[in-house]
Amino acid sequence: MDSSKVVIITGGSSGIGKSLAFEYGNHGYTVVITGRNAENLKSVENELIQNNIQAKGIKCDSANEEETKQMIQQVVSEFGGIDILINNAGISMRSMFESVQMDVMKQVMDINFWGTVYSTHAALPYIKERKGGIIGISSIAGYRGLPVRSGYSASKFAMNGFMEALRTELIGTGVHVLIACPGFTASNIRNASLNSEGKITGETMREESKMMSSEEVAKEIYKAFESKKKTLVLTFQGKLTVFLNKLFSGFIDKMVYNTLKKEKDSPLK
């Protein structure tokens, strides 16, 4: 198996990140996963290795610029370069804006947006050397603001704008940039979402069994990148929401409100 190509996946120890690690590993990549929980990283690293995937877990807080720089340097030192960076690390929140503490908004922005900026800035020279690529795991919330998730939506709108600007800057360099918006996916992001006080809720408010699986999402992202797509919006609901929001924003305001009002313990009345 050719393991000369190197992919870094931030937030790679669970959900979409973990599924992407297996997807790219099964296509011959050396896989580097990062995250804040060393125990979880080691467990996934072992799983990957048991499946004949060359893998390395590196503890790194994406919201910490210095840790991110050190992580990138460690990857280059150990594996010789970087082909693809997948900015997947993310956290959600669930609170009415009027009752949320400002440090919750900041924490979401630090991880989802600044984490993407830090890792991309540190890795870009090496990705340009190999004419590789950068993938941002965004969200439908990056196209359509979601009530009770104002901070999350803001962070994903910011990510989309950043990635689009970067894609344009990199024209002619051979570096491909993909913005991937999975829609609602069965993963642990809702279980780990923050409430108005910044505490982890520990439970999902949606029916995970009816959502697209993280493995399916990973396969679609791999295919989209290989076919040089600029954006990927997944699920019929996601595509429809993005399309209709451009044409009928007032109607979509009500539709989104009524949909999220049905969530378990929704603060929307």
Residue spans per domain, the chain = 6-238
Burial call 5-14: b when 16+ CB within 10 Å, e when fewer: bbbbbbbbbb
φ/ψ of 186, rounded to 5, equals -70, 105
Taking the C-alpha atoms of residue 127 and residue 249, their distance in angstroms, rounded to an integer, is 38
How would CATH label the architecture of 6-238? 3-Layer(aba) Sandwich (3.40)
Q: What is the DSSP secondary structure assignment for residue 130, as one 8-state letter?
A: T
Average pLDDT over residues 61-69: 98
Length of the chain: 269
Reply yes or no on whether 152 is catalytic: yes
Q: pLDDT at position 240, please?
A: 82
Judge whether residue 199 has pLDDT over 80.
no
Give the global pTM.
0.87
List, for residues 97-136, the tens digit of each pLDDT value: 999 999 999 999 999 999 999 999 999 999 999 999 999 9
How many C-beta atoms surround the C-beta of residue 119 within 10 A? 25
Catalytic residue among 118, 143, 152, 222: 152
Sorting pLDDT into bands at 50, 70 and 90, what band is 203? low
Average pLDDT over residues 66-73: 98
Judge whether residue 209 has pLDDT over 70.
no
Provide the mean pLDDT of the chain.
90
Of residues 240 and 70, more confidently modeled: 70
